[in-house]
A and B are shown apart, each in its own frame.
Chain A
Amino acid sequence: MNKKTFRLFANCKLVKGASLATICDLHRGKVYSVPLSLAEFLEKTKNEDTLEGIDSFSSEDQETVLEYIDFLQENELGFWTDESERFPELNMQWKSPEHINNSIIEMDQLDQRDLKKITTALTSLLCKFVELRFYKTINLDKLDFFAKNCSDSVIRSITVFIPYTSSFNIKDIESLSVKYPRIVLFVLHSVKEKDISSKSENPKIKFISKSINNQSHCGIIDPKLFSIKIPVFTESLKFNSCLNKKLGIDNEGNIKNCPSMSQSYGNIKTDDIEEVVQSKQFQKPWGIHKDLIDTCKDCEYRRVCTDCRAYVEYPENKFSKPLKCGYDPHTNQWQDWSKNPLKQEAIKYYSFHEFVKS
Chain B
Amino acid sequence: MILICKSHDENNESHEDVIDWLSYHNAKFDFLSGHDYYENGNDWSIELSNSKNESSFFSQEYQSIWFRGFMRYRSHFKETINSLDSTNDNIAELRWRLGQETAKTNSQIFKSFEDSYQLPNPKSTKVDKFSILRLAEKIGLQIPISMISNSRKKLLEFYKKHGDVITKPLYETVYFRDESSAIFFKTDKITEESIKSLPEKFFPSFFQRYVEKDIELRSFYLEGKFYTMAIFSQLDPQTKTDFRNYNTEKPNRNVPYLLPKEIETKLRNLMKELNLNTGSIDLIKTPDKRYVFLEVNPTGQFGFVSKPCNYYLEDEIAKTLIQHDQ
Contacts and interface: CB of A to CB of B under 8 A. Distances in A.
Interface of A: 9-11, 27-28, 76, 79, 83, 85-93, 95, 97-99, 126, 154, 230, 234
Cβ-closest 9 pairs across A and B: A97-B24, A10-B255, A97-B20, A97-B21, A9-B253, A88-B256, A86-B258, A9-B255, A230-B310
B310 A79 contact: no
Interface string B1-26: 00000000000000001001101100
B24 A27 contact: no
Interface residues of B, number: 25
Interface in B218-267: 230, 232, 235, 250-251, 253-258, 260
Contact of A154 (B20, B254, B309): B20
B308 interface: yes
Given A27-B251, A76-B253, A126 B310 contact: no
Contacts of A230: 307-308, 310
A89 B258 CA distance: 11
8 contacts: A9-B232, A11-B253, A27-B251, A76-B253, A95-B312, A97-B24, A126-B23, A154-B23
Contacts of A234: 310
B282 interface: no
B255 A11 contact: yes
A206 to B, nearest CB: 25
Contacts of A99: 24
B23 to A, nearest CB: 6
Contacts of A92: 310
A92 B309 CA distance: 10
Given A90-B310, A93-B310, A97-B20, A79 B232 contact: yes
B36 interface: no
B245 to A, nearest CB: 17
Nearest to B249: A28
B4 to A, nearest CB: 15
A322 B255 CA distance: 34
B315 A95 contact: yes
A90 B17 CA distance: 20
Q: Is the interface of B mostly helix, strand, loop or mixed?
A: mixed
Q: Is the interface of A mostly helix, strand, loop or mixed?
A: loop
A69 B309 CA distance: 24
A267 B271 CA distance: 56
B251 A28 contact: yes
A126 B232 CA distance: 37
Contacts of B307: 230
A210 B64 CA distance: 53
A85 B258 CA distance: 8
Contacts of B24: 97-99, 126
B255 A28 contact: no
B20 to A, nearest CB: 4
Contacts of B21: 97
B257 A87 contact: yes
Nearest to A8: B255
A91 B315 CA distance: 15
Nearest to B230: A87
A95 B319 CA distance: 14
Given A11-B255, A87-B258, A230-B308, 20 more contacts: A9-B232, A9-B253, A76-B250, A86-B260, A87-B256, A88-B256, A88-B257, A88-B258, A90-B255, A91-B256, A91-B310, A91-B311, A92-B310, A95-B312, A95-B315, A97-B17, A98-B20, A126-B20, A126-B24, A234-B310
Contacts of A85: 258
Interface string B116-157: 000000000000000000000000000000000000000000
A129 to B, nearest CB: 13
Contacts of A154: 20, 23
A10 B256 contact: yes
Contact of A27 (B230, B253, B311): B253
Nearest to B18: A97
A76 B253 CA distance: 8
Given A76-B250, A95-B312, A90 B256 contact: yes
A47 to B, nearest CB: 13
Contacts of A86: 257-258, 260
A95 B318 CA distance: 14
A90 B312 CA distance: 12
A10 B232 CA distance: 12
A98 B24 CA distance: 6
B312 to A, nearest CB: 7
A89 B255 CA distance: 9
A95 B23 CA distance: 14
A207 to B, nearest CB: 30
Contacts of A97: 17, 20-21, 23-24, 315
Which residue, B230, B253, B289, B308, has most C-beta atoms of chain A within 10 A? B253
Contacts of B315: 95, 97
A230 B308 CA distance: 8
A125 to B, nearest CB: 10
A298 to B, nearest CB: 26
A110 B99 CA distance: 57
A25 B7 CA distance: 37
Nearest to A230: B310
A25 B148 CA distance: 44
Nearest to B307: A230
Contacts of B311: 91
Nearest to A99: B24
A93 B312 contact: yes
A27 B232 CA distance: 13
Contacts of A126: 20, 23-24
Contacts of A87: 230, 255-258
Nearest to A86: B258
Contacts of A10: 255-256, 309
B250 A28 contact: yes
Contacts of A90: 255-256, 309-310
A126 B19 CA distance: 12
Contacts of B20: 97-98, 126, 154
A286 B173 CA distance: 45
